[in-house]
Structure 1
Amino acid sequence: MRQLVRTAPAALPAALRAPLAMTAALATAVVVALGILHFRDASLTGIDAAVLPSLYPVQPPWRYVALVVDFGGEPVGSVILIALLSAVCWLVRLVRTAVVTVLGVAVTVAVTTVLKPVVGRTIHGEFLSYPSGHTALATALALIIALVLTQRLGLGRPAGAALALGLAVVAGLVMGWAEVALGAHYPTDALGGFCAALAAVPATAWVVDRVADRL
């Protein structure tokens, strides 16, 4: 097993190291800035006040679409998605990426879980909302899919970075829309979750590579 992990392709392809490192640094700054801005906040102001009324409440049939998307971030749905993606990584011999699929999502969810009580932002008067764990999870899975595709297709820096950020943005927008439309989060909660994943996944992949190289 040790040999398998040590000789497996890097979880963080060389083409993505610099772009995702810069993105992670910027994303971390955004997470912190939004956390400070909405510290102990329960009001609807700024971007949230401008955007949320146009999305919430969502009516059928789009409400059903939002519920399906939301299920992907629930415990059962997320376990299914993580298991499927991990299995694909194992099948194509991207063992390190399979490890990142589990650890990357775990770290991302841990970050959002810890930040919620620290920031203390609430929605509907009682539910901790910043940052959105569902949006973070969806973005994390999209980034990991991009790592797989970049590795398998041999993409260079421009194409790989465009793919990674493109998939992340699509996943973040779709899940973020669902969470706001269902009244679970403010729009900036979704942005915070999106950025949390952009920061956590590349960092986790880098650590996995460093550990694996030393086995």
Structure 2
Amino acid sequence: MTGRSASVVLPPSLRVWFGLIAALAALVVVVFGAAYADESEPSATDVRIQAAVDGVGAPWWHVAVVTDFLGEPGGAVLLVAALVTGCLLLRDPRAAVFLVTGAGLTVGTTTLLKPVVGRTIHGDNLSYPSGHTAFLTAIALMLSLVATGRLGLGRAVGVSFVFTAGLVAGAVMGWAQVALGSHYATDTLGGWCTALAVLPVTAWLIDRTADRLAHRRTDGPAGPPPERRVGAGRQQCP
């Protein structure tokens, strides 16, 4: 990870706003997790949304299946690998590290939360929060954050751009998960909020670590200690 020669992944103008968004999103994840803990049935809201999107036919069914594949292990690895390759071709290793770390921490967080909440669908399948929704939302947030830094977007435009990108990605994957019957709608909301809670913190840590490494590299290693004279402090033989 290099220093200021690479674009920061969380522009300073956005840090306060996305810090607040992360805190609010984390609160939503906790509240919904507590509300649906150990449940195995959809809520009234889930039933209404399911009825609205249930029974989609071609070509939308195929769109949902392809979208779902992006959140599967194979599709996720291919997507992240392609994006990391693009970052390296653009000589932005910090963004590459951000993509790998952010995706891993987001999916890891949903994986850890599922057995804690204990909500299930279709038998014993843990469902809250949706890892698919969290993953695609995280990808959209990371790409838009990197683009905001590179383009030098202002605070208002940058916040709107990043939040909208995350909202669209989360909505698309959330729709696919509900349409395919893989998750309840509230599961997808929990996944979306999980990404919003994890990504700003991850971005801040990546920037802080990269800047510290760059600062140490600029200062250079400390010089070797002064050489001690052989036999100093001892009587020399004639």
TM-score normalised according to structure 2 size? 0.86
In the alignment, the residues of structure 2 paired with residue 83 and residue 52 of structure 1 have an alpha-carbon distance, to the nearest angstrom, of 33
SS of 1:72 mapped into structure 2 = helix
In the alignment, the residues of structure 2 paired with residue 39 and residue 148 of structure 1 have an alpha-carbon distance, to the nearest angstrom, of 36
Contact 1:42 1:123 in 2 (8 A): yes
**Alignment partner for residue 87 of structure 2, among 75, 78, 89?**
89
Contact 1:108 1:197 in 2 (8 A): yes
In the alignment, the residues of structure 1 paired with residue 91 and residue 193 of structure 2 have an alpha-carbon distance, to the nearest angstrom, of 29
- Please state how far the C-alpha of 1:13 moved relative to its aligned partner: 1.1
- Please state how far the C-alpha of 1:193 moved relative to its aligned partner: 0.3
Query: How many residues matched?
Result: 213
Q: Which residue of 1 aligns with 2:58?
A: 60
Contact 2:8 2:146 in 1 (8 A): no
Uncovered stretches (5+) of structure 1, i.e. residues with no partner: none
Uncovered stretches (5+) of structure 2, i.e. residues with no partner: 214-238
Q: Which residue of 1 aligns with 2:115?
A: 117
- Please state how far the C-alpha of 1:94 moved relative to its aligned partner: 2.7
Contact 1:5 1:95 in 2 (8 A): no
SS of 1:111 mapped into structure 2 = helix
In the alignment, the residues of structure 2 paired with residue 35 and residue 169 of structure 1 have an alpha-carbon distance, to the nearest angstrom, of 20
Q: Percent identity?
A: 52
Contact 1:11 1:94 in 2 (8 A): no
Contact 1:51 1:187 in 2 (8 A): yes
TM-score normalised according to structure 1 size? 0.94
In the alignment, the residues of structure 1 paired with residue 208 and residue 19 of structure 2 have an alpha-carbon distance, to the nearest angstrom, of 15
Moved more, 5-14 or 30-39: 5-14
SS of 2:153 mapped into structure 1 = coil
1:80-130 deviations in whole A, cap 9, x for unaligned?
111122122223333222111000000000000001111000011221000
Contact 1:6 1:214 in 2 (8 A): no
Q: Which residue of 2 aligns with 1:187?
A: 185
**Alignment partner for residue 73 of structure 1, among 52, 71, 82?**
71
In the alignment, the residues of structure 2 paired with residue 110 and residue 184 of structure 1 have an alpha-carbon distance, to the nearest angstrom, of 19
**Which structure has the bigger radius of gyration?**
2
1:127-155 deviations in whole A, cap 9, x for unaligned?
10000000000000000111121012110
- Please state how far the C-alpha of 1:60 moved relative to its aligned partner: 2.6
Q: Which residue of 2 aligns with 1:21?
A: 19
Within 5 Å, give how 1:30-41 maps onto structure 2.
Answer: 30-41=28-39
| Distance change in 2, residues 1:121/1:57 (3 Å) | farther
In the alignment, the residues of structure 2 paired with residue 191 and residue 78 of structure 1 have an alpha-carbon distance, to the nearest angstrom, of 20
Q: Which residue of 1 aligns with 2:196?
A: 198
Q: Which has the higher helix share?
A: 1
In the alignment, the residues of structure 2 paired with residue 194 and residue 188 of structure 1 have an alpha-carbon distance, to the nearest angstrom, of 10
**Alignment partner for residue 131 of structure 1, among 124, 129, 132?**
129
Contact 2:133 2:170 in 1 (8 A): yes
In the alignment, the residues of structure 2 paired with residue 12 and residue 44 of structure 1 have an alpha-carbon distance, to the nearest angstrom, of 37
